[in-house]
Amino acid sequence: MSDFQDLILKAIYENITEELLYRISLNEIKSREELKALTLQELFNSLELLQDKKYLAYQESITEGDYLIKINIKGILKYEKDHPDIHPEFTILTKKFLSTVKNIEDEKITLEPGEGEQIGRIPVDDFLNYSNIKRQDFDKVNFIRHNGDETFHRGIGWTNKGRFLFYGKNLIFLTPRGREFLEFQNKLENLFANVSNNFGKQVLLEEYSDLHFLMRNGKWKDALIKMGSIVEYLVEDHIEHSGLGIDNNGDLKEYEISDFNGKKRKIKLMKVNIGQKLLFIVQHNVFDSKWASDWTFVNNNIREFRNYIHISKLVSNNIIVDYATVQSIYPIFERIITLF
């Protein structure tokens, strides 16, 4: 996604979080300082691309010469995912909503006759099977956000807003995309659950919290160092306690790997450095093969981040760490840490 597209999403996102409106006019976007340099044609080109990706929609406004732009939940979640330095308010809200739907699906929550789940204005239709949901008032199931207070509502108290009801038994309410989103968010909520050392787990949680503090404050180099350190500890801990490093007799296990020159050699996994451990993970498919490209990226990039504490490393390799660097790397880091 281009910088211009990102700035447009930012304008609409800030309009939601600051003005409580999920729509914005083209004239309002054009008036923003960071977008003033764009021509009208460049703006429309960016809007078309965002609309093609189903991040937003736009239409002519009743104000002559102006257009009304509406973001949807896909665009909001995309913006929050691409900006780990901000509080992911709507990602949390979406997870909360889908958890409730899943509980209804699993019959952990029973709705009384006439009781519905109601939400306000931002569509979440990608995540739901509408054939099993009876809709009322609105064509789509929606979110509402108001005054920064509680953002999810159950029941029929908000009669001026749309609501939806569930009906039937043994029905699937979540789409595969909705289920995948919910499962991933649940993993993030239960980070480091398999780390065996309780003190180590506590340190990891503190480091993870510090990482987000650094990103919120634009400390990009320090954030990358944190990522590298967290991944290194998780790999070391997993190898030590999963049986990969030591057999049942307490003897060190030996494996064959190929080095960067393609030369094969035997290693004792517990004795080698983090680089060779990562080579082992990649070459032996320690995790499911669907994670192979992420682990290759970790091996080629993230493992080096912990060395960025040394100024000589940055200077000798002409490394510049900025927002764009972290934005491109953080989603991979986030996926990797949910494996532990």
53 in the same domain as 93:
no
> 81 lies in a domain?
no
Residue ending a domain, choose from 185, 217, 238 = 185
Q: How confident is the model at residue 230 (pLDDT cuts 50, 70, 90)?
A: very high
Q: What is the CATH number of the domain that holds 42?
A: 1.10.10.10
201 in the same domain as 328:
yes
- Return the HEC string of 177-219: HHHHHHHHHHHHHCCCCCCCCHHHHHHHHHHHHHHHHHHHCCC
**In the chain, how many domains are there?**
3
Confidence at residue 89, expressed as pLDDT on a 0 to 100 scale: 79
297 in the same domain as 213:
yes
> 273 lies in a domain?
yes
Taking 50 as the threshold, does the pLDDT of residue 161 lie above it? no
Confidence at residue 234, expressed as pLDDT on a 0 to 100 scale: 92
Taking 70 as the threshold, does the pLDDT of residue 276 lie above it? yes
Confidence at residue 242, expressed as pLDDT on a 0 to 100 scale: 84
210 in the same domain as 176:
no
271 in the same domain as 166:
no
pTM recorded for the entire structure:
0.58
117 in the same domain as 32:
no
127 in the same domain as 59:
no
pLDDT digits (tens, 9 = 90+) for 96-117: 778 877 776 776 655 444 444 4
DSSP characters over 119-164:
--SEE-GGGB-GGGEEEESSSS-EE---TTS---EESS--TTS-EE
Confidence at residue 39, expressed as pLDDT on a 0 to 100 scale: 85
> 99 lies in a domain?
yes
Q: How confident is the model at residue 295 (pLDDT cuts 50, 70, 90)?
A: confident
Residue ending a domain, choose from 24, 43, 72 = 72
Of the candidates 2, 8, 175, the one whose C-alpha atom is nearest the C-alpha of residue 75 is 8
Tell me the pLDDT of the chain averaged across its residues: 75
End-to-end CA, the chain: 30
Taking 70 as the threshold, does the pLDDT of residue 248 lie above it? yes
Residue ending a domain, choose from 42, 72, 102 = 72
50 in the same domain as 136:
no
pLDDT digits (tens, 9 = 90+) for 30-60: 888 888 888 888 888 988 999 898 888 888 8
97 in the same domain as 116:
yes
Q: Which pair of tokens denotes residue 278?
A: 């990562």
Q: Could you give phi then psi for residue 325, rounded to 5 degrees? A: -60, -50
> 127 lies in a domain?
yes
> 77 lies in a domain?
no
Taking 50 as the threshold, does the pLDDT of residue 150 lie above it? no
> 7 lies in a domain?
yes
Higher pLDDT, 222 or 114: 222
Quick check: 336 and 303 in contact, CB under 8 A? no
Taking 70 as the threshold, does the pLDDT of residue 169 lie above it? no
> 259 lies in a domain?
yes
CA distance 183 to 180: 5
pLDDT digits (tens, 9 = 90+) for 300-324: 777 666 666 667 766 676 777 788 8
pLDDT digits (tens, 9 = 90+) for 170-205: 567 788 888 888 887 887 778 888 888 888 888 898
Judged by average pLDDT, the poorest of 54-63, 134-143, 239-248, 321-330 is 134-143
pLDDT digits (tens, 9 = 90+) for 262-274: 788 888 888 888 8
Residue type, 70: K
Confidence at residue 303, expressed as pLDDT on a 0 to 100 scale: 64
Confidence at residue 266, expressed as pLDDT on a 0 to 100 scale: 87
CA distance 12 to 129: 27
214 in the same domain as 330:
yes
116 in the same domain as 223:
no
136 in the same domain as 56:
no
Confidence at residue 23, expressed as pLDDT on a 0 to 100 scale: 74
Higher pLDDT, 110 or 63: 63
Confidence at residue 162, expressed as pLDDT on a 0 to 100 scale: 38
Confidence at residue 314, expressed as pLDDT on a 0 to 100 scale: 66
> 52 lies in a domain?
yes
Per DSSP, 253 falls in state P
Domain with 163, as residue range(s), is 89-185
